[in-house]
Structure 1
Amino acid sequence: MSQKLRVLVHGTGFAGQGHTDAFRFGGAEVVGMVGRTAAVVSEVTEKMGIPYGGTDWQQALIDCKPDIVSIATPGGAHVEPIKQAIAQGCHVFCDKPLTESGATAKELADLAEASGVKTAFAASFRYMPEVLHAKKLVAAGAIGEPLEVECISHFNLERDIPFGWSHRAEHGGGRLNNNFTHKLSIVTSVVGEKILSIMGEVRDDLERAPIVEGVHNFKTRREHIPENLDDPELKWGESNVEWSYTVLAQLESQYAGKPVSVMFRHGGLQPRFNEDHIVFYGSEGAIYIKGHYGAGPLFLYGKDGEWREQPLPEEISADIPHIEGDTERNWSYLIRELLQDVRGEPVAPYQTFREGAQYQQLIDMIRENRNWVDVSRLN
């Protein structure tokens, strides 16, 4: 395949612009971008030098004739554009969550496989350098058999961030869709991809958020928090998603004789006291990575009973895209894998719509909150 692969991007915000840069980094040509608002599309396409801009996705598919589409809109707006792209024979790169529900996510995974198109699901923080490092250490037996994993994070998000898609389940919001997907991807990449069992509890501590017009970029939404939250004219939108979750899982691992226990604890609105972290405990040691998504540094607890910081191996440093910003670098890593696959080049396994559908079905189960045992009558 000598010519550059042609890419059409759906979404004009932080993700759409980030996907554009990542596809260009991988050697593809971004031929068009589609968004909801004509003025915003015009501004972004001019700024980024994208030749085609529009608000009609179906027409853009016809006009641009892309090889690949990039879905960079909130999860609740994914289903129909992806169906239309698959019908055109396009390969699809989609940010998380894949859709707003397990049923629609599975429908898309089945459709993509039946149509023979390639897909990539961007729960992409598994490509953090120190997560790749932990994967290498576990595979080398540095901690013996993996036994359990602990993922702890507290974000202390501003409660008055303007109301939007992140506050509504039907739009793809919630901390499970937008935090847990990355955490689960990180842990499975290190320990093992097969999820055996899961249970969880969720809680909405927010309940409402102020409605503010003109918020187009997810990354800059904090700049739009109203100055006077007591203004009687201010309107409020209702949250119907979780802002905190606790999930327990068991994973199968080729490095362990028994299922590996995993605990995910996240408080989206709660302040942190100690550092967010991910820890892999084994029969002969442990790996600690600082940061909610494993930004590092990484420490290894060995047989000498000491925690020692480990330098990032040169082969990992040389392989990751040297791009500023964790999110942008991880997109570039996964997009590079997808582009190689589409070109027919050898590539390591990466997450597809099948994993995206599995994650969404798991999130549906966790949100049901049916794991409680009533013990109120016990003496």
Structure 2
Amino acid sequence: PYGWPHRLDQGGGRLNNNFTHKLAIVQNIVSGTGCGEVLAAMGETRNDLSSVPVAHKIHDFRNYFKEALTPVAAAQAEWAAVDSDWSYTVLARLGDPTAPIAEAVSATFRHSALNFGKHGDYVAIAGEKGVLHIDGAYTQGAIYLRTEQEQWEPLTIPDQIHAALPPEPDHSQRNWDQLAREFVADIRGEADADYPTFRDGWIHQQVIDIARAGLGWQAIEREIGK
């Protein structure tokens, strides 16, 4: 049913609700090498969902697909226009702002919530000596690395990382549990928070605006107010 995911002015769209997670993940992956700053970006979006039926509002988003209208009910309902993006391709360069741009890491983000291609959603991170490829709409899929060898090497997440996370089988709920754990610890002053800051959100919004504009490569402002 029609709701906030279909309206940009209410925070809808896949860039707002999918891309930011994956950009933060890529930044976390490469931050240990000093390459976590987003330097430039480009991209495009598509909206292949021009309108949807209007029905009751869904408060619990976990029930969103469970409460989808039947074809008969949808045909009899009022329909509203959709202005949010439902697929995107974003290219980003990440690195040390003081280093030459040629030393930057390149990241490709491909996602579609409607028209699925031959290859599914993925993120690819290309560096000087290889490429890290991660499958899945939220990078929850298989992980592969290719360097000088001819074959892709499958990778697994180290056991110590799994052991440090909440014991929740559903990956979405586990992520929320981990966020709550870090947030409470931060408030108590027990640990340094690793979740995104307001500055991170400001930079992510720049990348989103660049992708929606589709104007080619654009540099990212890194200091607020300058």
Could you tell me the TM-score, scaled by structure 1's length? Answer: 0.50
Tell me the distance in 2 between the aligned counterparts of 1:280 and 1:357. Answer: 22
> What SS does the corresponding residue of 1:324 show, helix, strand or coil?
coil
Displacement of 1:230 in angstroms is: 7.9
AA matched with 2:184: L
- In 2, the alpha carbon distance for the partners of 1:301 and 1:198 equals 24
Q: Give the counterpart of 2:68 among 206, 209, 225.
A: 225
- What corresponds to 2:165 in structure 1? 320
Alpha-carbon shift at residue 357 of structure 1 (Å): 2.6
2:41 aligned residue: 198
- The one-letter amino acid of 2:106's match is S
For the aligned residue pairs, the C-alpha RMSD in angstroms reads 2.7
What is the CA–CA distance in structure 2 between the aligned matches of 1:356 and 1:318, rounded to whole Å?
29
1:308 maps to 2:153: yes
Q: Do 2:6 and 2:82's aligned partners in 1 also have CA atoms closer than 8 Å?
A: yes
Q: Which structure 2 residue ranges, 5 or more long, are not aligned?
A: 218-226
| Pair 1:235 & 2:78 matched | yes
- Rounded Cα–Cα distance in structure 2 between residues aligned with 1:367 and 1:276: 19
Q: Map of 1:171-320 to 2, 5 A cutoff?
A: 171-191=10-30, 192-229=35-72, 233-253=76-96, 258-320=103-165
What's the CA shift for 1:264?
Answer: 1.9
> 1:315 and 1:210 mapped to 2: Cα distance?
46
CA 1:340–1:214 in structure 2 vs 1: closer, same or farther (change >3 Å)?
Answer: closer
The worse-fitting range, judged by mean Cα deviation, of 265-274 and 299-308 is 299-308
Number of aligned residue pairs: 211
Distance 1:230 1:320 in 2: 42
Could you tell me how far 1:355 is from its partner in structure 2?
A: 1.4
The 1:215/1:199 distance shift into structure 2, 3 A limit, reads same
In 2, the alpha carbon distance for the partners of 1:182 and 1:323 equals 19
State the distance in 1 between where 2:174 and 2:73 align: 40
Distance in 2, Cα, partners of 1:362 & 1:282: 20
CA offsets, 1:189-219, max 9 Å, x none?
1123311112222221111000112533222
Secondary structure of residue in 1 paired with 2:205: helix
- How has the CA–CA distance of structure 1 residues 231 and 269 changed in structure 2, closer, same or farther, with 3 Å as cutoff? closer
2:180 corresponds to: 335
**How many percent identity over aligned positions?**
38
* Equivalent residues in 2 for 1:148-167, closer than 5 Å: 162-167=1-6
* 1:358 Cα deviation after fit: 2.4
**Structure 1 residue ranges, 4+ long, deviating more than 4 angstroms after superposition:** 229-232, 253-257
Counterpart of 1:333 in structure 2: which amino acid?
A: Q
- Counterpart position of 1:137: none
Instruction: Tell me the amino acid that sits aligned with residue 339 of structure 1.
Output: V
Question: What is the deviation of 1:299?
Answer: 3.0
Q: Determine if contact 2:21/2:138 at 8 Å carries over to the other structure.
A: yes
Partners of 2:213 and 2:38 lie apart in 1 by: 19
Per-residue deviation at 1:307? 2.9
Q: Distance between the aligned counterparts of 1:371 and 1:308, measured in 2?
A: 33
In the TM superposition, residue 304 of structure 1 has moved relative to its aligned partner by 4.3
**Structure 1: 5+ residue stretches without partners:** 1-161, 373-379
**Mapping for residues 125-164 of structure 1, pairs under 5 Å:** 162-164=1-3
Q: 1:206 to 1:308 in 2, by over 3 A?
A: same
Distance, in Å, in 1 between the alignment partners of 2:198 and 2:151 is 41
1:358 and 1:282 map into 2 onto residues whose CA distance is 22
Q: What's the counterpart of residue 83 of structure 1?
A: none
User: Is this contact kept in 2: 1:253–1:260, CA < 8 A?
Assistant: no
C-alpha separation between the residues in 1 aligned to 2:156 and 2:70?
Answer: 45
Q: Give the 3-state SS of the residue equivalent to 1:224 in structure 2.
A: coil
Q: What residue identity is the alignment partner of 1:321?
A: P
- 1:361 matches 2:206: yes
Alpha-carbon distance in 2 for matches of 1:276, 1:235: 32
Q: Which structure has the larger Rg?
A: 1
**Matched-pair contact (CA < 8 Å) for 1:212–1:224:** no
